[in-house]
A and B are shown apart, each in its own frame.
Chain A
Amino acid sequence: MTELDPDLARDGPELTGVELDRRLTAAWRRQPGLIGWLSTTDHKEIGKRYIVTAFVFLALAGVLGLVMRAQLARPESGLITADRYNQIFTMHGTTMMFLFAVPVMEAMAIYVIPLMLGTRNMTFARLNAFSYWMYLFGGTMLWVAFVLNTGPDAGWFSYTPLSGPEYAPGKRVDIWAQMITFTEVSGLAAAVVMATTILKQRAPGMTLAKMPIFAWSMLVVALMIIFALPAVALDSGMLLSDRLVGTHFFNPYEGGDALLWQHLFWFFGHPEVYIIFLPATGFISELVATFSRRPVFAYPAVVVSLCATGLLAFGLWVHHMFATGLPRLGFAFYTAASLTVSIPTGVQIFCWIATIWLGRPQFRVPMLWVIGFIVTFVIGGLTGVMLASVPLDLQLHDTYFVVAHFHYVLIGGAVFPLLGAVTYWFPKATGRMMSEALGKLSFAVTFVGFHLTFFPMHITGMMGMPRRVYTYPAGMGWGTLNMISSIGAAILAFGVLLFVINIILSFRAGRVAGANPWEAAGLEWATTSPPPVYNFPHLPAVASRTPLWDEGEGLPVTTGLRVDDRELLSVTIIDAIPSVREPSPKPTIWPLLSAIAIGVTFVWSIFTPWALVFGLVPSAIALTIWFWPKNPDVPPEPEID
């Protein structure tokens, strides 16, 4: 190799290969050791931590699900007390929704999206790290409280006035509400990072019309989070204020309104379902395309469907409140809106099946999850159509039929695609393939266990069993069905366990994967597995929706970014024309310290409102240091000829 000009600070045809790797690694790597580990701003590290944490919460909440199934397996069972059961079902729902389902989708995107877009890191990399720490602290606080028998017990929806100061004394509901605050801060931070990354950091040439569908789904989801989370932030803030300083927002006897809680909660809560579901549809689109060896059929229709779902999701919340006695005329609107949302979903289902039909499908493990998803999720979608109808909902509402419905939607519609996506991107993140045999086995066991658990619940519900009961009388005829569900739950748990075992075994000794083991088309497969810390030696440029299928080895690249410092390429929002080179922040411990300061403030404020005053000081100090303008310590750039 010829001697390089030591002052040459940009990649290009002259600076490539090993020397480029050395310089980029030097610029992008973090310090080794604990401090470095805690300071990282690398989206891959943050994404992996997020995913692992979310799966830990899945396991914890899953165990709670098993405990509930054990209690309900037989009528009048005394395995656990009413108080413990109520904590457990609250913790199960809260953990699954707030600490697993939403974060894990963001987590997958945090890992994958920058690779898919062909960039080196996310925008606001430190905010990304901060988002993870806030999530971790909020979840930890909730679970520590639960272990100390202070777990919330008012349901994951915490309806007032049951969750208000009069009927929920003690700190249980405060813990719940403050956990919401943590996840709001974390979720909003992640959403801002996600939306800006997708809009501004795409590879040159990757116009909005050529963006991977998963990126589209995450863009829609990020915008949904930004619009939906403030509603629950306001709601839980008002609840905390009712509980902590004696306001009366939800106290009907002092001019408050118990139903206000439900409106604000479901204005967030219904979009939340789509915030979980849309990324899963993004996974499905990626998997279907790769394993059918062709692009997804009718890309514009799929993208329009994603956007339409995102918009319609905000017009459905009253269908959770049909029994509350709101004016009947308005209900017709929410029925129609709820049914309308099945049109875009129906379009997507059609497009995926058409993609398989038009392509040459390969039934690898991720594709099995896709098929499992379609077979399962459609049942959940169709029971959703039933629930949208006011007369049907007034019967089905708050029974086990609804429990069956949303587990079909959330497990069939989101967890199945997630497990497929994890199998799919596992080789990218670890460099090793997951075992096909074990993968097929875990799919089969999970699939059978799932249906055995949740299908009978449709019938249990029709037979009149309400939700959220810790036990039921023997004479109701619900015993057999509940026993079947409980046996199914054990099988389902075993299937998920097999999946985790597969991950652990494959991580240690899986077959080594090349850069593109599935021969997929997306940019994330254009770099090595696992990717270097800087993701791409030269940023790729794209001219089609399936760059690797169209360009193969000869993927065009963009050159000219600094190699001696962290630099990203910003592009125009619609056409992805390079517009500016932007510095990317270096690792720092301050997002963590800020999260600690703010976290302490949040936890402290459960006990006294003064925490918000005194906690402001360390929080402000930490944030000030984090945001303090840094003196760029890099040498000025050399002249360009």
Chain B
Amino acid sequence: MRKLRPLLACLALSGCHGRQVMLGAAGRDGSMFANLWLVFLIVTLVFYALVLIGLVWAILRRREGGEPATRTGLLVWVGVISVTLAGLSIASWLVDRNMNRAPFTGLTVEITGHQWWWDVRYTSADPSQTLRTSNQLHLPAGMPVRVILKSADVIHSFWIPNISGKQDLIPGRTNDIVITPEKVGLYRSQCAEYCGLEHAHMAFDVTVEPLADFEKWWAQGLLPARAPVTPLQKAGYAYVTTRECSTCHNIAGTPATGQVAPDLTHLASRLSLGAGTYPMNSGHLAAWVADPQSAKPGNKMPVIGLEPDQLNAVVSYLESLK
């Protein structure tokens, strides 16, 4: 039964379309991983079966003797292990060689890890086309994307299991990884290197969409934030752009130009809040603004202590930032 369990797990996983699973095979590397993993799984299961059969046979055997045959057996065993390991080495190397080898198409995303959120920049040769956002990634399906990875503080790790393996974000170094998402869908990425107090709440959403949708998203992302319309939104705008919020947060097209916290220009169009802590909706937005330390204790956003009407106004404005 125990032998079968990994196999069952594999079947169970391939049947379920989780947003953050290794066998999701939603990207080029993810598919190669799934294939190589299957090879390793079968080979290791065979060896586990051999060991168990040997053990059971040894326990059940009721007589002594047979040393010369056993000596030959040892040599054969060493030979079989060595050849198999050499085979696995080569298979692993061949797959590794093919990963990270996608042709470069010019799409580059620069991600900077912070305790505990992700600063995302879609760079372009034309600076006016450079898009800054945070805690989300939109990717065009079928197109290799070069992701440049940096860290502003400690080591983090970039990992979208459905699409590709990990690459660390290390302060003082610049890493990169080429990922090729293939299946349209929503995925989740989570920091995979322990990075301190709120490591558990450092995720982001990944939207893989057709190229046309992606280009539309990018173009919309470049637009400045929507102007407030209702009186409540206007009050919120006034608060956000003149008080504490603007020292850290940036909202393009407004006087809020802080650079040390997540960009809020199109906040309400994102799927989650607080780097994957909450789903995005007005209730959670209000809860977060009122007391960011309760959902994600230790994060760098202080409790401002807004009056109820201020809170309503701020949330109303933030909600309008589609």
Q: Which residues of A contact B (CB under 8 A)?
A: 81-83, 86, 153-155, 159, 161-162, 166-167, 252-253, 256-259, 294, 297-298, 301, 323-325, 328, 331-332, 335-336, 339-340, 342-343, 346-347, 349-351, 353-354, 356-361, 363, 371, 374-375, 378-379, 382-383, 385-386, 388-399, 451, 455, 458-459, 461-464, 466-473, 476-477
Q: Is the CB of B99 within 8 A of A391?
A: yes
Given known pairs A336-B89, A382-B47, A394-B165, the reply for A343 and B82 (CB within 8 Å) is: yes
Given known pairs A161-B171, A339-B88, A358-B66, the reply for A82 and B297 (CB within 8 Å) is: yes
Q: Besides the contacts A297-B70, A398-B194, what 8 more A-B pairs have beta carbons closer than 8 Å?
A: A82-B198, A258-B172, A325-B173, A353-B55, A357-B70, A361-B59, A374-B51, A385-B88
Q: Is the CB of B67 within 8 A of A398?
A: no
**Which residues on the A side are within 8 Å of B36 (C-beta)?**
389, 391-392
For the complex, what is the distance from the CA of A379 to the CA of B89, rounded to whole Å?
Answer: 19
Closest A-B pairs by Cβ, 10 of them: A252-B172, A394-B165, A469-B200, A464-B20, A357-B58, A389-B92, A325-B175, A382-B44, A356-B58, A162-B154
Q: Is the CB of B48 within 8 A of A379?
A: yes
Q: Is the CB of A396 within 8 A of B2?
A: no
For the complex, what is the distance from the CA of A81 to the CA of B298, rounded to whole Å?
Answer: 11
**Which residues on the B side are within 8 Å of A82 (C-beta)?**
197-198, 200, 297-298
Stretch among B73-81, B126-134, B238-246, B258-266 lining the A interface: B73-81
Q: Is the CB of A398 within 8 A of B157?
A: yes
Which of B73, B96, B157, B196 is close to A350, meaning CB atoms less than 8 Å apart?
B73
Stretch among B185-193, B209-217, B314-322 lining the A interface: B185-193
For the complex, what is the distance from the CA of A108 to the CA of B109, rounded to whole Å?
Answer: 55
**Which residues on the B side are within 8 Å of A371 (C-beta)?**
55, 59
Q: Is the CB of A466 within 8 A of B191?
A: yes
**Which residues on the A side are within 8 Å of B19 (C-beta)?**
476
Does B229 sit within 8 A of A, measured CB to CB?
A: no
Does B95 sit within 8 A of A, measured CB to CB?
A: yes
Closest CB-CB distance, A382 to chain B, in whole Å?
Answer: 4
Closest CB-CB distance, A401 to chain B, in whole Å?
Answer: 8
For the complex, what is the distance from the CA of A309 to the CA of B272, rounded to whole Å?
Answer: 48
Closest CB-CB distance, B40 to chain A, in whole Å?
Answer: 5
**Which residues on the B side are within 8 Å of A374 (C-beta)?**
51, 55
**Which residues on the A side are within 8 Å of B159 (C-beta)?**
466
Q: Is the CB of A360 within 8 A of B64?
A: yes
CB-based nearest A residue for B272: A473
**Which residues on the A side are within 8 Å of B95 (C-beta)?**
389, 391
CB-based nearest A residue for B66: A358
**Which residues on the B side are within 8 Å of A83 (C-beta)?**
197, 297-298
CB-based nearest B residue for A360: B64
Closest CB-CB distance, B300 to chain A, in whole Å?
Answer: 12
CB-based nearest B residue for A324: B168
CB-based nearest B residue for A82: B197
**Which residues on the A side are within 8 Å of B58 (C-beta)?**
353-354, 356-357, 361
Interface centre among A335, A351, A353, A472 (most CB of B within 10 A): A353
**Which residues on the B side are within 8 Å of A294 (C-beta)?**
64
Does B21 sit within 8 A of A, measured CB to CB?
A: yes
Interface centre among A383, A463, A466, A469 (most CB of B within 10 A): A466
**Which residues on the A side are within 8 Å of B176 (C-beta)?**
325
**Which residues on the A side are within 8 Å of B44 (C-beta)?**
382-383, 385-386
**Which residues on the A side are within 8 Å of B161 (C-beta)?**
395, 464
**Which residues on the B side are within 8 Å of A359 (C-beta)?**
64
Q: Is the CB of B166 within 8 A of A323?
A: yes
Which of B20, B54, B85 is close to A339, meaning CB atoms less than 8 Å apart?
B85
Which of B6, B52, B99, B200 is close to A470, meaning CB atoms less than 8 Å apart?
B200
Does B18 sit within 8 A of A, measured CB to CB?
A: yes
**Which residues on the B side are within 8 Å of A383 (C-beta)?**
44
Which of A353, A361, A378 is close to B48, meaning CB atoms less than 8 Å apart?
A378
For the complex, what is the distance from the CA of A394 to the CA of B48, rounded to whole Å?
Answer: 24
**Which residues on the A side are within 8 Å of B115 (C-beta)?**
167
**Which residues on the A side are within 8 Å of B157 (C-beta)?**
323, 398
Q: Is the CB of B74 within 8 A of A354?
A: yes
Q: Is the CB of A258 within 8 A of B66?
A: no
Given known pairs A371-B55, A476-B20, the reply for A395 and B96 (CB within 8 Å) is: no
**Which residues on the A side are within 8 Å of B65 (C-beta)?**
358
For the complex, what is the distance from the CA of A354 to the CA of B37, rounded to whole Å?
Answer: 31
For the complex, what is the distance from the CA of A298 to the CA of B276, rounded to whole Å?
Answer: 56
For the complex, what is the distance from the CA of A528 to the CA of B18, rounded to whole Å?
Answer: 62
**Which residues on the A side are within 8 Å of B40 (C-beta)?**
385-386, 389, 392
For the complex, what is the distance from the CA of A498 to the CA of B176, rounded to whole Å?
Answer: 51
**Which residues on the B side are within 8 Å of A473 (C-beta)?**
276
Interface centre among A342, A358, A375, A461 (most CB of B within 10 A): A358
For the complex, what is the distance from the CA of A626 to the CA of B106, rounded to whole Å?
Answer: 70
**Which residues on the B side are within 8 Å of A391 (C-beta)?**
29, 32-33, 36, 92, 95-96, 99, 165
**Which residues on the B side are within 8 Å of A323 (C-beta)?**
157, 165-168, 192-193
Q: Is the CB of B93 within 8 A of A332?
A: yes
For the complex, what is the distance from the CA of A477 to the CA of B188, rounded to whole Å?
Answer: 13
**Which residues on the B side are within 8 Å of A342 (C-beta)?**
81, 85
For the complex, what is the distance from the CA of A359 to the CA of B70, rounded to whole Å?
Answer: 12
**Which residues on the B side are within 8 Å of A477 (C-beta)?**
16, 18
